[in-house]
Structure 1
Amino acid sequence: MLHSMSNPVPEEPVPQDGAGVPDGFQRLWMPHRMAYIKGENRVSGSGPEDCPFCRIPKLADAEGLIVARGALVFTVLNLYPYNAGHLMVCPYRHVSDYTDLDDGETAELAKHTKLAMVALRAASGAQGFNIGMNMGGVAGAGITAHLHQHVVPRWGGDTNFLPVVSGTKVLPQLLGETRDMIAGAWPGAS
């Protein structure tokens, strides 16, 4: 059966008399993801004028998916999360390499990483974390010109075959709801 995010249940079943043998799988049809797969509208972030991490802090927190703001860094929900609650800690300053951070930025990035872990444990019961940076395209950075640290919450049994076999990640909440939940659990949030 073919399902679409805009129309979860098709009005009529997709005929199973085409080429191939029916396999019993249901299909989740999400054509809007093709632009991402093809790399369309992908920004390089090479300069502050086209960098999403320079643009996001100018937005309202809910609109930019910002969980918390510091004096030198901010923490934002990843628009393309590896797992529900995947956060990124970013300096406001457009800098590409960890060694280019000043001492204040380095300290606040570490503090926000720690606070992100506390908030994710409180909000969602995270049992572990993957934390790290991908600096440079060869290291896997999607946006190479603006440093960002990933904080990915993990739970027992959160890995399965869907991402490997079908390139599909199941997320239990809308991103805005996840942002609100984590922001509400951020230490010192009122």
Structure 2
Amino acid sequence: MQQRVGLARAIANDAEILLMDEAFSALDPLYRKEMQDLLLQIQEKMHKTVIFIGHDLNEALKLGDRIMIMRDGNIEQIGEPEDILTHPANDYVERFIEGVDRTQVLTASSVMAKAQVVNIAKAGPRVALRRMRENDISSIYVVDNENRFVGFADAHDVSDLIKKNSKDLRSVLKTDVPKTHADTPINDLINDISKTPI
């Protein structure tokens, strides 16, 4: 309750910048999460600049738009959470981020890779399987002449087509592919990823 009152007092003063020094460090994990969520809700409505000082990097990654990591009064790195996790400036920052839960910060765009595709009008099962082997993947996206997604084929089904001497790649295409947005946290994707062969 003390933290809530302190936060309410700071907001009531209508200050342009709020300085919060270890504001939630004394709270048990349940109340701490509630206060973090409350601060994010307030920030979304009021658009205040908040300088949040703390030693918990997971908390900083959850609350901060930009993070500054310091050592002995010197700035080691300033950046957005994703940038700090993916491009640590030095060994100190790298050690500092070792135990961090990256799935809460990194998004689908962080792990996206250029899709390997074959054109259904030009490629049959043998080309599709060869492209999968060349790229060390177990399935491949299939597009039409306008580069529109038609479906995907997995190596097992394509191999069966070749054994049957069939050239009808369309017959093994799967079209039920989960979709997401580039800014979806990886943590939210894990369940879908585990069920998707791509």
In the superposition, the TM-score normalised over structure 2's length comes to: 0.25
In the superposition, the TM-score normalised over structure 1's length comes to: 0.26
Of structures 1 and 2, the larger Rg is shown by 2
Greater RCO structure (CA 8 Å; 6+ sep):
1
* Greater share of helix: 2
